[in-house]
Amino acid sequence: MEYVKLSNGIEMPILGYGVYQIAPSECERCVLDAIGVGYRSIDTAQAYFNEESVGRAIRRCGVPRQELFVTTKVWITNAGEKRAAASIDDSLRKLQSDYADLLLIHQPFGDYYGTWRAMEKAYRAGKARAIGVSNFYPDRLTDLAECCEIKPMVNQVETHVFNQQTEARKTMEAYGVRIMSWGPFAEGRNDFFTNETLLAIGAKHGKSVAQTALRFLIQRGVAVIPKSTRIERMKENFDIFDFVLEETDLAAIAALDTGKSLFLDHTDPETVKFLLRIHQ
């Protein structure tokens, strides 16, 4: 496994397992499978409604808690210092852990300044080993980083070959924020799995499109959390440390970047309204 070092010295696995859209009924089994394959980083969130399943898997897996890296996120409905603090404690209860390795603000809406103050307190109290944000565009990240006491350590954003966050990363790097990708396969959009460039480069290295895309991201220092409910895919996604993409490969894949989201535009007022209404 390779790691990225956060600004506070904590080392985070560059490859993890995400549980977005995995039903609670099968999440425990999936996390146990992933840990069995070798994953040590698990990414969940309050809004996924499967923290309890992740917690049960962590308890049952047989791997010491300190060898796992567990991420969860505070949702908009828990925004604000008081609500966020209570929700963090609730998340830890569900995860059956005294701490989260990484605690993130899930969306840059609502009273996220109050949420950040609660996360700073959780960090100082040892309830989180690292804190950060998710889906923060450069303007919001700059605003928070300039106004808070503890700078965000991670920003988890949509990052894949079609949206490589090249410009946004400049702002992250200026504040010592490490990038983490959600949706590294673009959820199959834009004909991801039949892309000719990825197919050709993968064939050259004896790897799949998914492996090629993941390798591209990690060679660029992007932490990734691919999701699959099938253990054979979990193994495939994990098997990306035995080859290296050449400079010509990297350049060809870099050329796929459109610089645009395939999902949501967080600067669109209708997107903001949509996100604010979820789980209300």
Question: Which member of 3, 17, 20, 48 is catalytic?
Answer: 48
pLDDT band at 150 (very low <50, low <70, confident <90, very high): very high
Range 120-140 average pLDDT: 98
pLDDT of residue 227: 96
Structure tokens at 12: 């985070």
Bridge-based pairing state of the strands 11-13 and 3-5: antiparallel
Specify the number of domains making up the chain.
1
Residue type, 82: K
Question: CATH code at 213?
Answer: 3.20.20.100
Q: Where are the beta strands (DSSP E) in 136-215?
A: 154-158, 178-182
Mind listing the pLDDT tens digit for each residue in 167-212? 999 999 999 999 999 999 999 999 999 999 999 999 999 999 999 9
* 160 annotated among ligand-binding-site residues: no
- Model confidence pLDDT, tens digit, residues 83-118: 999 999 999 999 999 999 999 999 999 999 999 999
Q: 66: how many CB neighbours lie within 10 A of its CB?
A: 8
pLDDT band for 220, please (50, 70, 90 cuts).
very high
**Best CA proximity match to 170, nearest among 137, 218, 144:** 137
pTM over 0.85? The answer is yes
Residue 81 structural domain: 3-277
> Which stretch of DSSP H or E encloses residue 110?
none
Residue 48 catalytic? yes
